[in-house]
Structure 1
């Protein structure tokens, strides 16, 4: 089947670090078909011993949508093999990636089940155990980032890796839409954003995810990590680059691509 062949191509590109031509230029049409490719690829990852530890939401800010030429959010799996841990300082080999970019956002750790389709942001906050500032590496198996919405969805929402700062329950007492972050690359500020850029509120993005997953008969479960989406344009990364996120209240974390 063609969709399964696309999934095998993505798995090969993931393993061998060799980009492939856009799937949208080779017959992949429509969001539903793209998610079928994504799920087929996830099945291949699980067969290789990987594990799903949560979900990522992509394309939540208008700035990122405009940057990548798409017009709606998407979602993908967070795989254990690319979970870089929790802490204030991390490092990952640059050689794991093809054409990585880095973005700053807020991660949610769920304490209760969330099942759509009609989840509210308030229900998301009530079900959340803690939140944390986080860095996500987005990467594309599609050559030169020449993507349409079908390409990034099939490509597991352009997932690369993720690193989470210290979890905090106290942050849930604040208005997440007013939190701010500044992203530094090798000491220079390169992007800044506010939580409202993430679909108006990061919890609204998670509520959107719960509704989107419900169409596939899937719920968010206790213990799931949700990367809720970038607040500012993503930044290209090269070997040796150090990215530092500074968030509201002096919170921060850094990640080097060694």
Structure 2
């Protein structure tokens, strides 16, 4: 699908993978709506790329609807939905102290990562459906969801996170089949160890990152956010890629710990 002249909404667009994607798409002529809870950073990114910012909690249906309405009215046809908002969590199903996993924490991770992704996908696709097709195939737009390799090989303590990301993987094919009727493709990316601010800037951060990189096959490093953004763009531009779950991980296969 041609990107120039299209509109996009990116959840989690104020930092990390979302910010990199916002910059990549904007450079290709996309009018990007940055949807994020971080108002200060989100506005800064939107201003720098000539886009629009809207504060949004993806787990809140009304806020997502308002964000999509803003994107749809921004000035270019809304054709791209990118879900990159998410949170992490680490806790064992039964802790070392014998206590069961906190249910509220589990629900929070599911609400943000899985429900949040579904919210933006369904509400965003409904808005895309109102646009005119862009080609003879009847294509109107593309949804790119962000899961994780933890959806496939979750480690110790990742039961909540893996469940949320696994849900995203699981809905890829049925969502693509559902949205085919309105000319919308759906693909999911499963990133591995990507160098984003989530790993912090503490004095021991580089040592921690080196440990994470050890299982990566090649290249022997963390992935970069701009490489993720390039993959997003490729999945949008290649019209025959649909209903796919794509690993983006340098060949890593997570061990139990």
TM-score, length basis structure 2: 0.29
Structure with max Cα Rg: 2
> By percentage of residues, which structure has more helix?
2
Relative CO higher for 1 or 2, CA cutoff 8 Å, sep ≥ 6? 1
TM-score, length basis structure 1: 0.29
